[in-house]
Amino acid sequence: MSRLRALLMTAAIPAVMSAATQADGPSRGEVLASTCHACHGPEGRGSPPLPPLRGRSDLRTQLLAWKSSAEASGDAHLMIRFARGLSEADIDALAAYFAAKDAP
Ligand code: HEC
């Protein structure tokens, strides 16, 4: 699992982020959200034990708190490391994307 996590941190995020800079096609929030779906279930519907992300209004607060967490990167909780790879604009786009979806 740690190898998978390392791979996600180093490979998947930059690939998704560069895809997200393309002008047309799916919204930035939708493209970024596809990385979340890998763990949090298709369309952010949750994949036990991971909670759903759809319909949540606290994602911006949560992701910003993780991003600014002082926890050392080596020991940091997975989502802290994930959030550090996101810009504030990415976080806004993700929060808007999931908040606009009906809760599962
Ligand atoms: C590599 C797998 C993985 C990916 C990808 C992932 N997450 Fe997570 N996420 C987790 C795990 C594991 C937890 C549970 C952490 C814990 O409680 O210790 C979690 C927890 C969360 C929580 C806290 C939920 C709660 O109610 O406590 C939020 C919010 C969240 N993730 C949002 C996101 C968003 C947004 C994305 C996409 C940018 C994302 N996650 C991508 C694995 C992942």
pLDDT in tens, 26-74: 999 999 999 999 999 999 999 999 999 999 999 999 999 999 988 877 7
Which residue's alpha carbon is nearest to atom 17 within ligand 1? 50
48 lies in some domain? yes
Question: For residue 12, is pLDDT > 60?
Answer: no
**Binding site membership of 35 for ligand 1 (Cβ less than 6 Å):** yes
Question: For residue 25, is pLDDT > 90?
Answer: no
- Domain span at residue 9? 2-60+88-99
104 lies in some domain? no
31 lies in some domain? yes
**Binding site membership of 59 for ligand 1 (Cβ less than 6 Å):** yes
10 lies in some domain? yes
Give the span between the Cα atoms of 33 and 21, in whole angstroms: 14
66 lies in some domain? no
**Binding site membership of 76 for ligand 1 (Cβ less than 6 Å):** no
Question: What's the structural domain count of the chain?
Answer: 1
- Distance between Cα 55 and ligand 1 center (Å): 15
